Amino acid sequence: MSSDLEISRRGMLAAGAATAALTVTPQVQAQPRMQPAPATMPVSLTVNGKRHDLQLDTRTTLLDTLREHLQLTGTKKGCDHGQCGACTVIVNGTRINSCLSLAVQHQGDKVTTIEGLGTPGDLHAMQAAFVKHDGYQCGYCTPGQICSAVAVLDEIKAGVPSHVQADITAAPQATNIEMRERVSGNICRCGAYSNIAEAMADVAGSRA
């Protein structure tokens, strides 16, 4: 009985091994998939008064267009998520975070960057006020701060209301609180906020 049992065990093991060998599916080497070329589109922008005709990947942000394709590196890439304001530029008179906007969305638009506001020999009034009031320390956020500040004073002058006002039907006023609230989306890691507010108040006062 023990001999018959041993043979049966051996037979079962052999049969199982043979069955497993027959049922193993041969591995087929995966073939590399061809990646489609990124889609591109022609885009025309007027940046700082000069027209640029570009062929861009449709995924290219306005920020990367300015920095990588037009070499206008004054506009800074901070968080790249629209949370710090370092990339603020002025498009058709309105300030935007250029990291959140695709270049193809701005076909035919007029874009002003920090380079377009003034030059070292001919500073914009806001640039001069930032220098006068030490409105910067490391300077990384400064281009976005200045572009935002310029646009804010234009917003106030044009009567564009903000949510800080209790009565939105009232004409906006260039008060310290109003200006601080409007530029609150521009973050200064160095904490030069009081000096920035002084620079803005200086320019606002000269416009009054």
* Domains of the chain, each with CATH number or no CATH: 39-117 (3.10.20.30), 118-208 (1.10.150.120)
Q: How far apart are CA 123 and CA 204, in angstroms?
A: 16
Helix (H, G, I), strand (E, B) or coil at 189: coil
pLDDT of 18 reads 55
- How does DSSP classify residue 184? T
pLDDT reading at 148 higher than 50: yes
Q: pLDDT higher for 80 or 166? A: 80
The chain-wide mean pLDDT, for the chain, equals 87
Give the tens place of pLDDT for each residue, 95-123.
999 999 999 999 999 999 999 999 999 99
pLDDT of residue 166: 47
As a whole number, mean pLDDT of residues 138-148 equals 98
State how far the alpha carbon of 36 is from the alpha carbons of 29, 39, 61, in Å. Answer: 22, 9, 20
Q: Up-side HSE of residue 84: CA atoms within 13 Å toward CB? A: 17
CA distances from 143 to 3, 78, 90, 176, 191 (A): 92, 11, 11, 21, 15
Cα of 70 vs its chain's centroid, Å: 16
**pLDDT tens digits for 35-57?**
776 799 999 999 999 999 999 99
Place of tokens 């052999």: 14
Give this prediction's pTM: 0.78
- For residue 26, pLDDT beyond 80: no
3-state secondary structure of 85: coil
pLDDT digits (tens, 9 = 90+) for 169-204: 566 788 999 999 999 999 999 999 999 999 999 999
**AA identity, residue 47:** V
41 to 54, 58, 60, 100: CA distances (angstroms): 8, 6, 10, 18
Percent of the chain with pLDDT over 70: 79
Query: Using CA atoms, how far apart are residues 153 and 96, in angstroms rounded to an integer?
Result: 15
Q: What pLDDT score does 36 carry? A: 77
